[in-house]
Structure formats: C-alpha cells, structure tokens
Amino acid sequence: MDDRIQIESVLNNLVYALFAHGGQAETSGRPSDFGNMVVFDNPEAVDTIVKAPELFRKNFSLISALGFSRFNTNDQDWSVRRTITQDVYLAAAKPAQQHPVAEIFATCLSSSDATLPAIQQSLFAASMTIFYRAFGLVPDMAATLLLLDRVRDVLRRLQYYSWVTPTTAERGNAIQDARAVVADFASLLMADPRAAAEMDRFRSEATDIEGFSPVEEFVMNFFAGVETSVTTALWVIDRLGANQQVQDRIHAEVLSGDAQTPYTDCMINETMRFFPPIPFLTREVGADTVLEGRRLYAGQLIMVSIVGVHQNPAFWSNPRVFDASRKEFLDNSFDRRAFIPFLTGPRMCGGARLGRLEVREAVLAIVRQFAFSRADDVIRFDYALALRPAQGASVSVSRR
Ligand code: HEM
C-alpha cells in the first residue's frame, strides 16, 4: 500500500473510531481507553482539564518538527508568544471588520467555477487573504497555497508517526520535509519587505525566548487559522447538499437581508458540534493526579475527545443526529461545557472570534452564490490535524 494511503487510512480510522466511541464514557461513568490512551469526553472532566494548563500540558512531540509556536508551547514561553499575535486577532474580528471580511469572501467566490474543488480553492484564498490582512500583509497567493498543502501533508505524516512508530528513515524524511517547508515559507516571507518587517516585530517581542523563530510562529498560526475556518465552511456545504429543505430555508433567510440569521447560525453551530474541525486534543499529564476516579501519572499522554464531548447524551438530545434546527442552539439552552469547538480555558483558540466571523461570512456568501445537491448522504472524512470532508464527495454545485 502507498505510504500516503496507509497514513490517511490509519488517521481517518482513528477519527471514525472516536465518532463510534462518542458518549461511551458517559454511559460507563468513567473515562475509557482508546488504544494506549485514556480518553476524556465527559464535559465536566474536560472542563477541568482545559482549565488547568499547568497540569495538563501541551506536548506535540513529533509535530514540533514543524517548529515551535504558541500552539505547542507552555508556561512563560507560551505567554510571550501569545502576546505577539493575540491583539492582531482581536482587532481583525472587531465589528468594523465584518464588511471587509464579507467582501473578501464575496469577491473570491464570485470568480470561482461552480465546482467543489474551485469553491474550496476560493475559500482558502479568502481565508488566507484575511489572515495576512490581519498582519497588514498580502499573500503571494499561488505560492502560499502550495505551501499550505505542504504544511498539511507534513502535519499529517508527523501526527501519524506520533501514533505509529516510524523507521529511522521515515522519521528523518518527515523531519527534513518539515524543515524544508518552514525554510521555503521563510524565503517567501523574507522576499516581501512588509512581511520581513513583521517577522522583525515578532522577533523583537520574543527576545527572552532562546532560539525563537518568527517564521515557525507564523506558519503554525497560519495553518491553525486558515485550515479550520475553511474546513467548517466545507462541512456546511456538505450538509446543505444533503438536505434541500434546510438549504432552501437558509437561502431564504440569507436573502431576507435581516441582520439576524438564527437558522444559519444554528446550522453553523450544529456543523461545528457534529464535525468539530479539531476533533480531539492530546495533553501530557504534568504531575500524578486523579481525574474521574482514574489515576494519571506524570508524563502520561491523555486524549480529550471534542467529538465525544459534543455527542455526550447527558448534554444533548439525540446527539448522533445532525439536526440543522437543533433546539439547544435555537433556544440558546446548551451547556457551554458541552460545546467546545474552539475549546475553553486559557488555551482556547486564539482566533475564535475571527474564526466565527469568517465562517459566518463565508457561509452567507456561499449560500447567496451557489446551490448544492448530493446523490448520497455518505459522510467521509479526511483528517490532517483538522477534520474536513473527503475530496470527491458526491456534491453537485450550480451557480444561483
Ligand atoms: C472555525 C475556526 C476555528 C476552530 C474550530 C478553531 C479551533 C481551535 C482549537 C480547538 C484550538 C485548541 C487546540 C489545542 O489546544 O490543541 C485552537 C487553538 C488555536 N487557534 Fe483556532 N480555531 C479556528 C480558527 C482560528 C483562527 C481564524 C485563528 C487565527 C487567525 C486561530 C488561531 C489559533 C491559535 C493561535 C491557537 C493556539 C492558542 C494557544 O494555545 O495560544 N484559530 N483553535
């Protein structure tokens, strides 16, 4: 079997298994084991984990071959890194940015062919534009899209090798490819004086961090921001195609011109509940402790299943059904601990507001411009740190 196919199928099967596993811990009242990891999917236990980042720490082992950033560091190192980008993301999500973000999606999609791959490409172009714009930059679109594909590919391999021990050669190749993609990203950024100046700003704010690389910081932030937002919009398309009535209702709501779009917002929430863009997290236990009656040891890796939290039957009615008009969302009656697509606590998504803004404006622009239908309703994943619909899903597209 081709290495790539093997890697994709192992990772996808892991996520399918997490879906199958969703809510089981609740039934037994205890966390359960998944391979050699303890999985937590009870919203209360997960809330404890994510609110204690000094005890449940980030450790991405091999993934760190792609470098260090606020995503995969801890303590003071993380805190300094967070400061470099956090205000940028908050400013990019202010209400005044709603119109420009809407314009970017509308423009990118208006020149797109009516095919799923073309729409996907346009969404990536829009999201990349928005990410770069937050830093006052403009991406070299073609080159940056290729780099994004390479980052995804490298991350998928590194993640696979954190589960399935690689040979020395495989490990060496993956690390070499990770370094090459960061080096190529660096060349591209440094060729643009404004981007080079921004990298200087990153560096000047991180003088206390030994070996700090502004490009590593940028690359992982870039992937975290772009991949997740686009993925969410792609799942919305997938579900619109599967349900004509839902699509008609959302189309009518969007065309009504009303500023409030409760059904569209509900559909987006339900999409993120059912297909959380980051379906699970791992954490390293910092010191011996006990959680939900389970003894945990310093150095042990544990898993937080966001899929499982989102499908916990004690917190959701019919959690395994995709319900575009889910009552808990329409009534705003859901327990905040049971809906964590952006996580909660100190290590929650740094771009949560921007992500929400992007997804909403992307969906509004998509629904205005395109109609979707599906010949079947088979759900197939492609997991590479973010969970997206598999390429080649049977969605037909037409321009409205
Ligand atoms: C629908 C869109 C998004 C979703 C669902 C999402 C989800 C998440 C999740 C679950 C985490 C925690 C990962 C972990 O603890 O291992 C995270 C972290 C992060 N996300 Fe997002 N994200 C989205 C959009 C964005 C955007 C637009 C940006 C930036 C422009 C961004 C930047 C980050 C960063 C920097 C972190 C690391 C936070 C830290 O630990 O300091 N994300 N995201």
User: Is 79 a domain residue?
Assistant: yes
The residue to mutate among 78, 228, 383, having the most atoms of ligand 1 within 8 angstroms of its beta carbon, is 228
For the CA of 231, the closest atom of ligand 1 is 1
The residue to mutate among 74, 344, 349, having the most atoms of ligand 1 within 8 angstroms of its beta carbon, is 349
Six token digits for residue 109: 């999609």
| Number of neighbouring beta carbons within 10 Å of residue 254 | 18
User: Is 400 a domain residue?
Assistant: no
User: Is 347 a domain residue?
Assistant: yes
Residues within a 6 A CB radius of ligand 1 = 70-71, 82, 89, 131, 221, 224-225, 228-229, 232, 277-278, 281, 341-343, 347, 349-351, 354-355, 359
| Number of domains comprising the chain | 1
Six token digits for residue 174: 């993956």
Q: pTM, whole model, 2 decimals?
A: 0.95
* Closest residue by CA, ligand 1 atom 26: 225
Confidence of residue 391 (pLDDT cuts 50, 70, 90): confident
Q: Which of 45-49, 84-88, 247-251, 371-375 has the lowest mean pLDDT?
A: 371-375
CA-nearest of 365, 370, 400 to 100 is: 365
Mean pLDDT over all residues of the chain?
93
352 is in which domain, residue-wise? 3-372+379-388
User: Is 397 a domain residue?
Assistant: no
Return the sign of the alpha-carbon dihedral for residues 60, 155, 217, 336.
Answer: negative
Read off the CATH number of the domain in which 184 is found: 1.10.630.10
Confidence of residue 160 (pLDDT cuts 50, 70, 90): confident
pLDDT digits (tens, 9 = 90+) for 207-254: 999 999 999 999 999 999 999 999 999 999 999 999 999 999 999 999
* Closest residue by CA, ligand 1 atom 16: 281
For residue 82, the CA-to-ligand 1 centroid distance in Å is 12
For residue 228, the CA-to-ligand 1 centroid distance in Å is 8
Q: How confident is the model at residue 1, as a pLDDT?
A: 45
pLDDT digits (tens, 9 = 90+) for 249-269: 999 999 998 989 999 999 999
pLDDT digits (tens, 9 = 90+) for 50-78: 999 999 999 877 788 889 999 999 999 99
CA-nearest of 91, 73, 345 to 221 is: 73
- For range 175-179, the mean pLDDT: 94
User: Is 396 a domain residue?
Assistant: no
User: Is 399 a domain residue?
Assistant: no
User: Is 315 a domain residue?
Assistant: yes
User: Is 393 a domain residue?
Assistant: no
Q: Does the pLDDT of residue 30 top 70, yes or no?
A: no
For residue 91, the CA-to-ligand 1 centroid distance in Å is 16
For residue 348, the CA-to-ligand 1 centroid distance in Å is 7
| Number of neighbouring beta carbons within 10 Å of residue 28 | 8
pLDDT digits (tens, 9 = 90+) for 332-389: 999 999 999 999 999 999 999 999 999 999 999 999 999 999 888 888 888 888 899 9
For residue 167, the CA-to-ligand 1 centroid distance in Å is 31
